[in-house]
Structure 1
Amino acid sequence: MNAKMKRRLVAVSGIIIVVLILVLAFVGGNSAATTVSVAQAAEGGYAGKKVQVSGNVVENSFSTDGNTLTFSIYDPENESGQPLKVVYEGAASSTFGNDVTAICTGHMGGDGVLACSELVTKCPSKYESATDALEVGRLLGYGPDMVGTMVKVTGTVVSGTLKPAGEGQRFVVTDGTEEMGVMFDGALSEEVADDATVVITGSLNSDGGFDATEVALQA
């Protein structure tokens, strides 16, 4: 084998080694997460490990700072257990809210906080009959007389208005003529989307918005 062939072989071998290192690094960085309970994650035995934890969002535990969402989750089958704090670098979906089921994947820190890189939220679909529900225009037409009175309202979600919980107005609903902002920090099912017809339970506030206690798809 001449010197030129040797140099070529060494170069090819070097490229193969580099490719193998990159592949192993990629596979290692994307290894499957260990599924653990909220209690197991909170105990501190998984520091530095990639885990997947499912739990319900603790009511009003979430806050946002720029593109960072911080919240806590608990085990609905063990509500007295210790909750787990989660930090997620990314925008929350419009389905995120109080008591929604959050599937969190990431690495546990030595401080007992889950640095979440993947967040999936799930909320069971809720359906409600529109019987006895007022249309948006009808409710607003009553004016101050209806402020604070618990009612049901039906309407369509205005396209592009859905926001995550914790940002004030959650979405805008319309009957095709009148529009009304809806405040709601609870869980929304993923079917509550642009142009979905919903039935909302709650009360009109003094600012002309609607403070909702429940949002469901119209049955």
Structure 2
Amino acid sequence: MNAKMKKRMIAVSGVIVIVLILVLAFVGGNTAATTMSIAEAAENPQAGQKVQVSGNVVQDSFSTSNDVLTFKIYDPEGDPATQLEVRYDGAASSTFGNDVTAICTGKINDAGVLECSELVTKCPSKYENADSALTVEQLLGYGESVYGKVVKVAGSVGAGSLKAAGQGDRFILVDTEAGDSVPVVFEGALSDEVAEGSTVVLTGSLGDDGKFAATDVALEG
């Protein structure tokens, strides 16, 4: 290869490198999200720019219509009255529920609503000793005498039954030994460790509709 050819190849390689750098810079600049607090998003929404805002889901603020989830978040360390409305067109994780930490990435529209394209939920794990808890078989065996009374019951999360809050029964609690089961109503946050087959301890009460209304869900530990 002569000197002229070498110079031409070096020049072409240099152009390719510059083009790649510019492309990567352009892509990175358009995909990187600016991290904002809820207060910052409320005061300066930067409509049209990609942002990431984290907060806890406001109690019973969520609803689903035409597969679109809407909810509000607040800063647990800030002013609870300062809230940001979020619209998410996608399936929420089974961990989603009241007061769960929601990490929302997207763009804030002209109405001040965060059009979320990425939703991640986090909740710390809780553990409860199951020694004093009833089995599902024992719970159902009491019949009407236990309706409305606060009790603890332990069992496993039934296969294929785990759902996000706001989508009906949260899961089915199964007594793996006796085969009994009871649907569970719970709108709170679940930890990432709660999965199908997990052994959990619930606090709540059995209603006359045959469903267990849980106020707390913890992993057995």
Classify the TM-score, shorter chain.
Answer: 0.7 to 0.9
Is 1:90–2:87 an aligned residue pair?
A: no
Total equivalences in the alignment: 203
Look up the match of 2:219.
217
TM-score scaled by length of structure 2: 0.86
Amino acid at match of 1:203: S
Any residues of structure 2 matched to 1:178-217 within 5 Å, and which? 178-217=180-219
Any residues of structure 2 matched to 1:19-168 within 5 Å, and which? 23=23, 27=27, 30-168=30-168
Contact preservation (8 Å) 1:88, 1:115: yes
What SS class does the counterpart of residue 144 from structure 1 fall into?
Answer: helix
Q: 1:24 to 1:198 in 2, by over 3 A?
A: same
Look up the match of 2:174.
174
Amino acid at match of 2:103: I
Q: 1:116 to 1:205 in 2, by over 3 A?
A: same
Contact preservation (8 Å) 2:94, 2:163: yes
Partners of 1:51 and 1:24 in 2: how far apart? 20
- After superposition, what is the alpha-carbon deviation per residue over 1:96-141, rounded to whole angstroms, capped at 9, x for unaligned? 0000000000011121110000000000001011121000000000
Amino acid at match of 2:148: G
Q: 1:65 to 1:53 in 2, by over 3 A?
A: same
Partners of 2:45 and 2:199 in 1: how far apart? 46
Percent of paired sites with the same residue: 63
What SS class does the counterpart of residue 31 from structure 2 fall into?
Answer: coil
- After superposition, what is the alpha-carbon deviation per residue over 1:130-183, rounded to whole angstroms, capped at 9, x for unaligned? 121000000000000000000000000011100110122000011121011000
TM-score scaled by length of structure 1: 0.87
**Post-superposition offset of 1:91:** 0.8
Partners of 2:115 and 2:80 in 1: how far apart? 23
Partners of 1:59 and 1:79 in 2: how far apart? 15
Partners of 2:62 and 2:25 in 1: how far apart? 34
Partners of 2:100 and 2:140 in 1: how far apart? 30
Look up the match of 2:6.
none
Amino acid at match of 1:182: V
Contact preservation (8 Å) 2:45, 2:108: no
**Post-superposition offset of 1:44:** 3.2
C-alpha RMSD over aligned residues: 2.0
Contact preservation (8 Å) 1:44, 1:110: no
**Post-superposition offset of 1:190:** 1.0
Partners of 1:29 and 1:70 in 2: how far apart? 28
Unaligned runs of 5+ in 2: 1-15
Partners of 1:216 and 1:103 in 2: how far apart? 23
Amino acid at match of 1:169: D
Q: 1:189 to 1:27 in 2, by over 3 A?
A: same
